[in-house]
Structure 1
Amino acid sequence: MAPMVEMVGKVTRSRYDELVAESLDMLEEDTRCQFGLGDAALELEPLRGHGGHLPLDEGDQGVEESLRLFADEIGLSFYTVRTHRWVAAQWPAEHRRAGVSWEVHRILASVPDRFDLIGNPPLSERTGRRRWSAEVAKKLVGWKTEEVLVPVTSQEKIEAIRELARDDEAVAAQVATDFLRRPEVAFKAMRDPEARENVNEAQFEQTKLEDDEFEEDYDNAFDVGDDGERFDDPARIVHSWRKSMEFSDLIAVCQGFIAGAARLVPKLRGHEFTDTQTKVLENHLEKIRATADWIETAAATGQVDLDEQLAQLLRGQ
């Protein structure tokens, strides 16, 4: 009876060993290439910053400019080039370990005693051998394992935040609140039409809620005195002032539009609009008419909610 051939996956054990050996050779070459890329970026812009992960020489805009140009020239993202530069800086050539992947060097790059550590790989629970792997290195430094990468690029960080807050409205709301307290973040967020519309709708609902709560609290506390007459509390007066200021702001918006139109329209004499310009202007005029109707309805009925058709129009859909 012929002995049973040991298989690994769909290949024999001997072929598997050949594939491992060939792959290790390719991995060694890949590691040299990755460090070569980092060394080139490091030569272009030596690392001078201190502290933090992937420092980029704060205050020196020329560094980022050079690295972005370099990244464009070689067809990689700026973030990839920046990461390779930083890893190369953390691992001078004399401390890089042959037979250990660039990924392991990247994971260990922030460890203070990395130069000694990389020469003493821990025992792998999976293979039973002392050999560095990304999973072993991540476990040693406290990162998540099982191929869950620690986000480095902007897109990876965005996806990580989305995933963490995906099914938890309370977390999402707190994160959004914390971020919007940063003026530069709020400014960029409000450039997104849908985000701006949602914030505006939330402001309307919040104002209405605050007004209702104020009236209820006021009536409970100050509405009727012992003699049956209303009591004019200063809080009600201040609240009335706030509403008057909001009305004044609305009037100022209308007056600003009128003044701007009065200044610009006469300058259009003799101007011949292209078909594209005409279409753009028509779209904006339609939005202006719809907004004016919305204001008029709100003033007449007190209903400030956007109906779906108007919301889609203002979104440009």
Structure 2
Amino acid sequence: MPVKIGNVTQHRYDQSLAEAREAVEFKTRAQFRIGGLALVVEPLRPHGGSAGEAEELMTVSEALRRFADDIGPAYSTVKSYRWVSARWPDKRLRRQHRTVSHTVFRTLAAITDPDERARVLAEPPVDRWTPDAAKRVVDWAVDTPSSPQEKINRIHDLAADDDVAAAVATDLLRRPEVASRAMTDSTARHVVNRAQIDHAHQAGEIARQRTPAIENLAHSSEFVDLVGACSVFVASVGRVLPTLRGQPVQQGRTRHGRHERRPRAQHGGLDRDLRGDRQDDDGRGPVAAAARRVRCAGRCPRRSVPNRSASLSWRRGLPG
């Protein structure tokens, strides 16, 4: 069974290919011919050049637009043909590479140096020049990406808008393998963590604006943490003090004086903050309740000392 390419056999495909290449050569010659005639109507001038001393009756764009309207193609097409023909003025070079399409000539025309243009044209990166091969030479975005970097560049181009980029990133991060690989990048991981924190903060601000009572609940949770910390401290002191009974405390007064001053200073600051707190309508604010619980917790360690009188007499020997 003969090999088929598309809907035709290999033989019929080769015949169609030969005819199509002849048509492309004819089209390329026609495009260069139109561009050359456009150069006759309006030659390319150096930057800052003018038509001469005589006053111009038409601008360049007006003349080219009229020429395009009179022959049929779009003004932008004629303008492009004109520029390509100016970049490739050597007819002998064009005939030598007559199988190269006008699209490739237009892409390689971006090379500034004429000698470099001719050298690159004579050395195709593949068997034949293709539009994508020419674009790779001049570092343009290709129509059909093949390498991973070309595909990445295409995605970046399509996701230039922030809304599109956010939707694409959200869809991609739903793939576990993609999310795992993305988090190996320290910068991406830091940005994601920062965004999570900012999002939570914004959500909290919105909730507090809608429900002012949340602010009081937040303060209440902070006071509960304070009470818990004080309770842990009092319980720890009550557990350690009985073990020091009968030991010579005076010997450690100098050595431990600095460690004693720290909790004393902390206790004084805490007591002042608790007494200076604002009161609610009933005179019992959350801080006042916390103060009562802290003072109650301060009396609880007495249960850790079986003999109350012995404990009091022993505590009189502690550094004051």
Q: Same fold (TM over 0.5)?
A: no
The structure showing larger relative contact order (alpha-carbon pairs under 8 Å, at least 6 residues apart) is: 2
TM range (shorter): 0.3 to 0.5
Instruction: Give the TM-score normalised by structure 1.
Output: 0.41
TM-score w.r.t. length of structure 2: 0.41
Pair member with larger Rg? 2
